[in-house]
Every structure is written in C-alpha cells, then in structure tokens.
Amino acid sequence: MANNESKIIIPKGNISDRIIEDIMYKITIGDLKPGDKLPTEMEFCEELGVSRNVVREAMKVLVFQGLVEIRRGEGTFIVDKYTKKLVNPIIYGIILTRHNMHDLLEMNISMLREILLLSSDRVSGNELEELQHLYDALQAEVYSPDKNIDQMTILSTDFYKALVRITKNESLIQVYDAILDILTAARRQGFEYVVRVNFRSEWMNNYQLILNYLKGDLLDLSEISNLIFKRWDECLA
C-alpha cells in the first residue's frame, strides 16, 4: 500500500475538527513525525483556505490533548515523547509509535476478528436491531446522490462502536474506540474512494458479512476478516 504524501483536504462540517483528524492521520501514516515542526498559522491558512481563528481553535485542542506543544520563539511541534498532558494515552501512544497504516489496519482487523468471536455469543435481539438500523442508514447514505462523506464516516464509526459494545468487555471497548478515532480520517478517505470509483456494493458487503455472522450464518471468520482487510487496503492504496 502506498504511503500517501498528500495535502490535507478539509471537507465541509466542523472545520477545526477536520484539521485535527487530518493532522492525526498525517502523523499516523508518517507524513508528520514526532518532533516535527508544524506550519505557522498563516501557512496553514494559505494551504487549507481557512481563517486563522479556525487554525487557532484546532491548535488549542491539540495542545490541550497533549499531541502538540508550543515552544516559545520556535513554533509548534508534534510531541516526541509521552507526557502527563496526554488526555488519551491509548490514542496518542499508538499515533506516536513508529509504524505505517498497513500495520494499523492489520491491528484493526485482528481486533475485529476477536470482537466478532465474543459478540456472536453475547449479542441480543435489540443489539442486532441497532446494528441493522445503522447498516440501513449507512447504505441509504452511500447510495444517496448527495454524497455526504462526513455522514457516511459518522454512521460507519457508529456501526463499529455499537459492534464492540456487544462484547461487554470494557477494556476492549476502550482500546477499539481509540483505534476507530485514530482511523477517522482514513475512514473518510475510504468513503471518498468508494464514491469515486463506485465501490459501493463491495464496501457495504463488509457490513453485511458482519451482520450475517452475528445472525448465525456459518461463515468463515478468517475469510471475512481477510476480505475486509483487502478492501480497506485497496481504498487507502
């Protein structure tokens, strides 16, 4: 899978949140590394076509979360070590570790496999209904002519967060939620690819396989996870 050396693209929605997510994504894929200096406010404004207030809001959040630090007289930098300021050590421990997106996808799919194993024994009728509702809403959005990528991303994340809650394992829920948050920008990129090349039916089949497995269909879990991984890898190539 190629390492995308790309300009941050900010879609509609909460612009400062999108900046935060995309900076996290660029760190995750190695375009930005621990210790790297970030562009100045003005450089961000020119690159992204946004106001200084939007950039400042995003930087304030990143500083509060402990992901970046401001060094007086030098600029703003990605932190290069763990600090007590890190709001969510799980998220930032993963982000700041040297790896690539392929590694993160492998970890995500491995965890998904375990989540499905646990969930298949613990899922209730109401939980299946919730997943089905989220699937239906996502499918309607994916095939809608409006092409609302942000809404697709939100519904997809909600689907997987609802899925991991079925395990009733709080430690697993916390870690997997962190992985989902890290992959927000990657998930959005995936949906952009899905819409652009009309990969809709294949992409929605990922969710249908998960639903079918939880409903008791005799499906090979390794084949499901490998297929989902392959489709993710294609979208982010």
Give the DSSP letter of residue 132. H
Question: Residue 131's domain spans which residues?
Answer: 101-235
- Asked which of 95, 110, 126 is the last residue of a domain, the reply is 95
Cα 67–Cα 68–Cα 69 angle in degrees, nearest 5 = 135
Give the per-residue pLDDT at 69.
87
Interval 6-17: pLDDT, tens: 444 444 447 788
pLDDT at 193 over 90: yes
122/37 same-domain check? no
- Give domain status of residue 143, yes or no: yes
Average pLDDT along the chain: 84
Q: Which of 59, 74, 95 is the last residue of a domain?
A: 95
3 located within any domain: no
* Alpha-carbon gap, residue 178 to 182, rounded angstroms: 6
Give the predicted TM-score (pTM) of the model: 0.73
Q: Are 225 and 233 in contact (CB under 8 A)?
A: no
Instruction: List the structure tokens of 188.
Output: 């959005």
- Asked if residues 91 and 118 have their Cβ atoms less than 8 Å apart, the reply is no
In a domain, 197, yes or no: yes
Q: Domain boundary residue among 47, 78, 95?
A: 95
Predicted confidence (pLDDT) at residue 135 exceeds the cutoff of 70: yes
One domain, residues 77 and 185: no
Structure-model confidence comparison of residues 202 and 99, the more confident one: 202
Q: What does the pLDDT average to over 201-220? A: 93
